[in-house]
Homo-oligomer: A and B are copies of this chain.
Amino acid sequence: MSITVVGSIAFDAVETPFGVRERMLGGAATHFALAASFFDQVRVVGPVGDDFGEQELEVLRTRGTSTDDVEHVAGGRTFFWKGKYGWDLGTRETLDTQLGVFESFSPKLSEQARACDVLFLANIQPGLQLDVRAQCADARFVALDSMNLWIDIARHELLEIISRVDCLTLNDEELRQLTGKPNLVSAAREILTTGPSIVVAKQGEHGAALITSDQFFALPAYPLETVIDPTGAGDTFAGGFVGYIARHVGSGLSADVLRNAMAYGTALASFNVEGFGTEQVAAVSAEAVAERVAELWQFTRFEHVVVELVG
């Protein structure tokens, strides 16, 4: 099953309590691809500028990802984001955003990218997501990410694209903001009435929850004593989640498939936050990923030992 991802390819400048990076490869599509490439052939769709070199393309090509649909805009500059994290990494402040080549981006997918089985619409303007969705009419599984900005300024288009995907991934707060419902389960259930059959609530250091019409599943983040840089954790999670699903979309998405997808996404995200940028996920071995999934199983399992209660 081939996977197409459309979204930002970026240079990030990041300051965390554990260090500073002035310029490193980032972007939602980048982080997604690095994780999803563990599962299947990934094609990255997104624009880059003259400042994007062969070295960065090589990282994107990790584990066979195709960069044929990375559009080089001559004379342009790659999307740039600069941010600073608080002491417990729970909050972050955007210090600078330079859209660069994204300002005039109009996705033109190759025939191979359009023929994908699985499509991930990373966080970009909902209008562009609609455009790409239309180009990939035959995709068997489509997942979507977004952010508070689009809820604020492009709500109508965002609701439109949500109605055309199988899975929505959003942060807790964004699910509340989008639906106006203060309760997370209610918010997710409302989304399920509008098109998607799966909602994934991303909860940062607390993990993620999956809600469908007939199941609820929650998984904590993999516990780490050293977290260096959370940038890209959500997209890395999505890459593992969607990647695992891509492997199984032909044979149906059982509860076990979705739950393992959550676990692989969670394991991959844990590597992402252990280093700056793409360095950890680009280098990690398949064995190390599988080991963390097995640990997550151990960290969450319990055998219900019933006791006779009073009353």
Contacts and interface: CB of A to CB of B under 8 A. Distances in A.
Interface string A274-311: 00000000000110011001100101111111111111
B307 A244 contact: yes
A17 B226 CA distance: 38
A260 interface: yes
Nearest to A258: B302
Nearest to A87: B182
B183 A227 contact: yes
Contact of A304 (B62, B184, B297, B307): B297
Interface size class of A (residues with CB under 8 A): 35 or more
B185 A310 contact: no
A105 interface: no
Interface of A: 17, 37-40, 62-64, 87-89, 176, 182-186, 189, 203, 205-207, 209, 211, 216-220, 223-227, 244, 247, 256-257, 259-260, 262-264, 285-286, 289-290, 293-294, 297, 299-311
Given A37-B311, A294-B304, 11 more contacts: A64-B310, A88-B183, A186-B225, A209-B220, A217-B299, A217-B302, A218-B220, A220-B220, A262-B302, A286-B308, A286-B310
5 contacts: A38-B310, A39-B310, A183-B227, A184-B205, A218-B220
